[in-house]
C-alpha cells in the first residue's frame, strides 16, 4: 500500500519565478491538505482540497493556489516566488468521512534564490 508521495524532492528557483509541486495521496484517501514548514518551525496550513474544490484556506496570499484532480492527486502552485517562500512543503492526505487523521508525505524542499 503506497503512502503519500510527493515530487520533486528538491527544487531550486529564483525570485519571481513560478513553481508547481505535486502530491499523490495514500490509496483510498480523498482529501489533500498542503502545509508549509519553514526552517525551525512547525508546519503551517496552506489549504485543503476535497472533491476537486478548495475547502479550507490558511493565512496565505493568493500567490498560493492549488488544484485537485479526479484521481485525488493534487498540485500546489506558487507564483512570483519570494525568498521567504523557501521551505519544506508537505502534503497530507486523509479520508474525509473517517475523521481527521492525516498522513504526510516526505515533502518537497523549495529553495528560492
Partner 1 sequence: AQSVTQPDIHITVSEGASLELRCNYSYGATPYLFWYVQSPGQGLQLLLKYFSGDTLVQGIKGFEAEFKRSQSSFNLRKPSVHWSDAAEYFCAVGLTGGGNKLTFGTGTQLKVEL
Smallest distance, partner 1 to C-beta of residue 39, A:
11
Q: Which is nearer to partner 1, 62 or 100 (CB)?
A: 100
Write out the residues near partner 1 by the rule CB under 8 A. Answer: 4, 6, 31, 33, 35, 40-45, 48, 55-56, 58, 90, 92, 94, 96, 99-107, 109
Smallest distance, partner 1 to C-beta of residue 80, A:
25
8 A C-beta contact, residue 47 and residue 36: no
Cα–Cα distance measured from residue 13 to residue 16, given in angstroms and rounded to the nearest whole number: 9
8 A C-beta contact, residue 72 and residue 30: yes
Smallest distance, partner 1 to C-beta of residue 63, A:
20
Cell of 34: 498542503
Q: Which is nearer to partner 1, 7 or 17 (CB)?
A: 7
What's the CA angle centered on 108, arms 88 and 12, to 5 degrees? 90
Smallest distance, partner 1 to C-beta of residue 78, A:
19
Cα–Cα distance measured from residue 27 to residue 94, given in angstroms and rounded to the nearest whole number: 10
Amino acid at each position: 500500500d503506497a503512502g503519500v508521495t510527493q515530487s520533486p524532492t528538491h527544487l531550486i528557483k529564483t525570485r519571481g519565478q513560478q513553481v508547481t509541486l505535486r502530491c499523490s495521496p495514500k490509496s483510498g484517501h480523498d482529501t489533500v491538505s498542503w502545509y508549509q514548514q519553514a526552517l525551525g518551525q512547525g508546519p503551517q496550513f496552506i489549504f485543503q482540497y476535497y472533491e476537486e474544490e478548495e475547502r479550507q484556506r490558511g493565512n496565505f496570499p493568493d500567490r498560493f493556489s492549488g488544484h485537485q484532480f479526479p484521481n485525488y492527486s493534487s498540485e500546489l502552485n506558487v507564483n512570483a516566488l519570494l525568498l521567504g517562500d523557501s521551505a519544506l512543503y508537505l502534503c497530507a492526505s486523509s479520508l474525509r468521512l473517517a475523521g481527521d487523521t492525516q498522513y504526510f508525505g516526505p515533502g518537497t524542499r523549495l529553495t528560492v534564490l
